[in-house]
Amino acid sequence: MLPVTCVSLNAFNKRMENITNLAAQYAHSLLKTQDRRQHWQLNSKPFLLKYLNGIAEKCKLKWKVGVNEILQNLESVYLVFDAEPSGIVEQSQFSLVQKMKVGGFLSYSQTRNGQIVVWINFPCIDGMSDEKTKAEMLETIEPEELTEENVNRYIEKFLHEMIQWENDARDEIGFVRHKH
């Protein structure tokens, strides 16, 4: 049987080895986040802006490319449809109000650790629902995975979803309830 001090010393050494390994893993995670953020600024964001603008120019839809840079290292580049009349008009004795279709965008958004979340936000008819607009996350990727092939795949998925939104009656059937 080993003396108590040897067992305690072995347990202590194991714990210290574990703590040292975990500290090294944490330091590596911090460096990885820095690398991702640098890759986004130097490569991914400029690539997305150029590539998406090329798509928007080639495919003549009412859409544009935008950048959200309000929070550094939580930026996004997106392809968004312009707001436009929905064709739905609310009329009363005194007014006619054209309801606008807003939204519908594909976003490439940085996460807190520098990875990129690719997601879709669906359009909505302004003033027709109290619910938040539907969003769908497509994938979380590394910044270096933003290639022409992957971006094309996401744009195809986005357009497919927008076509379905326009063609399918997914909304509640009935009348808009007015709040009093």
Chain segment 136-163, per-residue pLDDT in tens: 999 999 999 999 999 999 999 999 999 9
Helix axes 45-58, 148-167, angle to 10 degrees: 50
Whole-angstrom Cα distance, residue 76 to residue 112? 12
First to last CA, the chain: 82
pTM: 0.81
Residue of 162, 164, 109, 160 whose CA lies nearest to 137: 109
Residue 83 predicted with pLDDT over 80: yes
- Which residue type, as a one-letter code, is found at position 173? I
Supply the mean pLDDT for the chain.
88
- Domain locations along the chain: 37-167
Q: Tell me 72's DSSP state.
A: T
Which tens digits make up the pLDDT trace of 88-105?
888 888 888 888 888 899
